Amino acid sequence: MEASQGGTGKMVGAQVRRVEDPRVLLGKSQYVDDLDLPNSLALAFVRSPYAHARIVSIDAAAAQNQPGVRLVLTGADIAGAIKPLRVEYEPAKAPTHKPCDWPVLAQDKVRFVGEAAAVVVAADRYAAEDAAGLIDVEYEPLEPVSDVEQALAADAPLVHEEWGDNVMQTLQAEIGDVAKAFQEADCVVSERLTTGRHMALPMETRGCVASFEPATDTLTVWSSTQVPHVLRSHIALVLDFPEHHIRVVAPDVGGGFGQKGHLFPEEAVSAYLAHRLGRAVKWIEDRRENLSASLHAKQQAVQAELAVRQDGTILGIRGRFVGDVGAYSEYPWGSAFEAGHAASSLPGPYKTPAFSFEAVSVATNKTTIGVYRGVGLPIGVLTMERLMDLAAHKLGLDPAEIRLRNMIRKEEHPYTTIIGAEVESGSHRESLQKALDILGYQECRAEQQRARAQGRYLGIGIGCYLEGTAPSSAAFASMGLNLGGYESATVRMDVAGKVTVLVGTHSHGQSHETTLAQVAADELGVPLADVKIIEGDTNAVPYGMGTWGSRSAVTGGGAISRASEKLRNKMLRIASRMTEVPDDDLELAEGMIRRRADTTPLMPIKELAHRVLVQAGSLPRDEEPGLDATAHYEPPPSTHANATHIALVEVDSDTGQVTLLRYIVVEDCGTIINPTVVDGQIQGGVAQGIGTALYEHALYDENGQFLTGTLMDYLIPTAIDVPQVEIGHIESPSPHTPHGIKGVGEGGAIAPPAAIANAVADALAPFEVRVDAIPLTPERVLGWIEQRQAAA
């Protein structure tokens, strides 16, 4: 392990209170909508009521004459001024990928219900909405592509004519001899299932404020974003505006979960309008827009088979994942990312000698798919964990036992998986065992039997996963994606010995002001209160990738550790001259320069800081002045976290209603920086995963009409519906990262669909139901029971 050299190791691992809590809990956070600039104008977008239609004409005269209306723009008005969003993969790495243009305002046709066709700029949002209602867009409806099956039919209407079909990308791979594995298997099980289209649904919807200052020729965009620098680069690109004259600020952000890790058409339009009008503009989307016109996720149809020996040993897996990616491709990941991610995650923590997969991404006339917490993993894990249960059932093995037999063992690390990932460390069997212990597995099985005798149906479901966190630049490059995986940080000491850390990650609930400060405090031997973390302002922080992909503790923490190391080395070098103690016998700890051997304090850090920064004449001549350092950190090729989830459910066999009784997670994210924060990430992730499993469903009818435009139709679990998760921790530090940190941001959301679907199948084992779809709505569950009863 790359241990922290100078730190006392006291803060990393400590359960300190979250630094951001007083602000968040007292309602003092400053979100983008809290920013009121003088003379600001409000935007409202006119959105398509059709899934697929040609725009014949737009009459905005009535709207233009409304009181308070400053400007109305249509697609035709901005055609040359704002480039469409376009995701290009490197053709050599992604030969089947077809790019498409996403016009920021629809040009010739609209491709989903909710697509922006025009924008109104008015004195306030009320006036803007009044005017938007008066804009008369004449549409010529086209036949919509409403699902994947239709999209793949030979005579299907085309979402993007230039493609010739509706397939955005097809990925295929075979590793090992899969056909042979299936021939030699004692037992083959197969699963077909569909997952529900759903979404991140951050509590704060999307939004931005843009302003232009002619005196300095500066365009500033405050956006509720996870990726300030990515946004800046892409705004520069689509507006053809010099990037060094753009500043992007992400203020407090009320949740992102991947949805806000993109450039959106509305942000580009806002930035353009601020520049064009020389006035600040504000766009705050409402909930209906967020539901219908932001990004959806995870609607896939899966078919997979598992080949095992009599004793449950896995011989081979094959899977086909077809993703319904909607109308366009999101910037910068590309909407084809998800299906491939799901497919390649299939083997999970299980040793698999042969594996093949196909991932097909298909365009339809629906809202575009984007990355959402866990991306494809919840689907891959659901599929694999269902297969494991089916195989166990067929072989008469306990579901826990078949998993234990196939999991990578502790002594096998580093273990190279079938897809070539080096799993550096982990606790697959241990986390499963510990989760079973927390549950009281045997007692629960006995209770299940007793309950069945009374006509009550309890079920236990297991979901295990292996997650590659903090993807590296090379990992993206291998897929042909133009995106970095590195992170940057600057660490500055001031004359009082206090530390300011500027880092390119962004916190929108992840508590970086606490955890990243804990890392810096240890690295520089200062108290936590002496560290301030600054993120989210491209004029302040070095170029970074923002926060997504369970990356910030690894990459932000890594960059801070590296930058701190540079600064620390310099401080110790200077201190060595002053104290005449060799620098390798010095350390920074508890606010002091100390002798390492016997921890004798030699000089307060703040005295050193003052001497270097203010009494600079005393600085040795060969030392550069200043006390700051910047580092750019490229994470290792992969940093693997793992976990086991167990759900205990009860199913009402008369109504199909599923009730979650208990939920257990044993997670391993390597070294824990702060247990409170890890627990919070798990609890929140599980809540979203419960949504995926039981509630959330963005529905369209056969005409591509969106049916779930309010939170009365689109259901998410509320606090009442989410049990207090019983969390256990195991720490298998990464040998490759500073402090042994791995990622944890997405984990909680990855396994609930698997654990809950398995639990429901287990509860209904007496009916031998086939769980073939999520979300597990009461009507669907009852349907499975009745189907079986009818068949019997």
Binding region for other proteins (CB under 8 A) out of 221-229, 373-381, 402-410, 715-723 = 715-723
What's the CA angle centered on 445, arms 767 and 657, to 5 degrees? 45
Binding region for other proteins (CB under 8 A) out of 173-181, 413-421, 432-440, 771-779 = 771-779
Binding region for other proteins (CB under 8 A) out of 474-482, 574-582, 651-659, 672-680 = 651-659
| Cα distance between the two ends of the chain | 59
Q: How far is the CB of 712 from other proteins (least distance, A)?
A: 7
Distance between CA atoms of 764 and 565, rounded to whole angstroms? Answer: 57
Q: How far is the CB of 709 from other proteins (least distance, A)?
A: 8
Q: How far is the CB of 385 from other proteins (least distance, A)?
A: 25
Q: How far is the CB of 716 from other proteins (least distance, A)?
A: 9
Distance between CA atoms of 589 and 9, rounded to whole angstroms? Answer: 9
Identity of the residue, 727 or 781, whose beta carbon is nearer to other proteins in the bound complex = 781
Q: How far is the CB of 763 from other proteins (least distance, A)?
A: 18
Please enumerate in sequence order all residues whose Cβ is within 8 A of that of 358, keeping only pairs 6 or more positions apart, or say none.
170, 171, 172, 319, 320, 321, 343
* Binds other proteins by CB under 8 A, chosen from 138, 240, 713, 768: 713
Q: How far is the CB of 779 from other proteins (least distance, A)?
A: 4
Q: How far is the CB of 285 from other proteins (least distance, A)?
A: 9
Distance between CA atoms of 11 and 8, rounded to whole angstroms? Answer: 8
* Binds other proteins by CB under 8 A, chosen from 3, 179, 614, 707: 707
- Paired tokens of 446: 């006995």
Regarding 416 and contact with other proteins (CB under 8 A), the answer is no
Distance between CA atoms of 563 and 621, rounded to whole angstroms? Answer: 23
- The beta-strand segments (E) located in 203-280 are 207-213, 218-223, 246-249
Using CA atoms, how far residue 467 sits from 424, 572, 641, 668, 697, in Å, is: 12, 38, 5, 10, 25
What is the rounded (10 degree) CA torsion for 550, 666, 378, 507?
A: -30
Q: How far is the CB of 659 from other proteins (least distance, A)?
A: 11
Regarding 125 and contact with other proteins (CB under 8 A), the answer is yes
* Binds other proteins by CB under 8 A, chosen from 695, 725, 741, 749: 695
Regarding 528 and contact with other proteins (CB under 8 A), the answer is no
Site string for other proteins, 731-770 (x = CB under 8 A): ----------------------------------------
Q: Number of helices (H) and strands (E), helices first, in the chain?
A: 22, 30
Number of residues lying near other proteins (CB under 8 A): 28
Q: How far is the CB of 41 from other proteins (least distance, A)?
A: 15
Residue holding tokens 């932001």? 294
Residue holding tokens 């926060």? 547
Give, as one character, the DSSP assignment of residue 623: S
Q: How far is the CB of 653 from other proteins (least distance, A)?
A: 10
Identity of the residue, 125 or 562, whose beta carbon is nearer to other proteins in the bound complex = 125
Q: How far is the CB of 658 from other proteins (least distance, A)?
A: 10
Q: What is the CA radius of gyration of the chain?
A: 27
Identity of the residue, 599 or 710, whose beta carbon is nearer to other proteins in the bound complex = 710
Identity of the residue, 127 or 526, whose beta carbon is nearer to other proteins in the bound complex = 127
Residue 641 CB neighbour total at 10 angstroms: 27
Binding region for other proteins (CB under 8 A) out of 164-172, 236-244, 704-712, 744-752 = 704-712
Q: Which of residues 257-316 bind other proteins (CB under 8 A)?
A: 286-288
* Binds other proteins by CB under 8 A, chosen from 39, 190, 599, 655: 655
Q: Name the strand (E) or helix (H) holding 524.
A: helix 512-524
Q: How far is the CB of 125 from other proteins (least distance, A)?
A: 5
* Binds other proteins by CB under 8 A, chosen from 438, 715, 726, 728: 715
Q: Phi-psi category of 588—alpha, beta or left, where left has phi over 0 and alpha has psi -120 to 50?
A: beta
Binding region for other proteins (CB under 8 A) out of 24-32, 443-451, 527-535, 694-702 = 694-702
Asked if 344 and 168 touch (Cβ cutoff 8 Å), the reply is no
* Binds other proteins by CB under 8 A, chosen from 1, 123, 699, 765: 699
* Binds other proteins by CB under 8 A, chosen from 607, 634, 721, 772: 721
Distance between CA atoms of 531 and 513, rounded to whole angstroms? Answer: 9
Q: DSSP string covering 547-605, please?
A: S-TT-IIIIIHHHHHHHHHHHHHHHHHHHHHHHTS-GGGEEEETTEEEETTT--EEEEH
Residues contributing to the site for other proteins (CB under 8 A) = 125-126, 129-130, 133, 286-288, 654-655, 657, 695, 697, 699, 707-708, 710, 712-713, 715, 717-718, 720-721, 777-779, 782
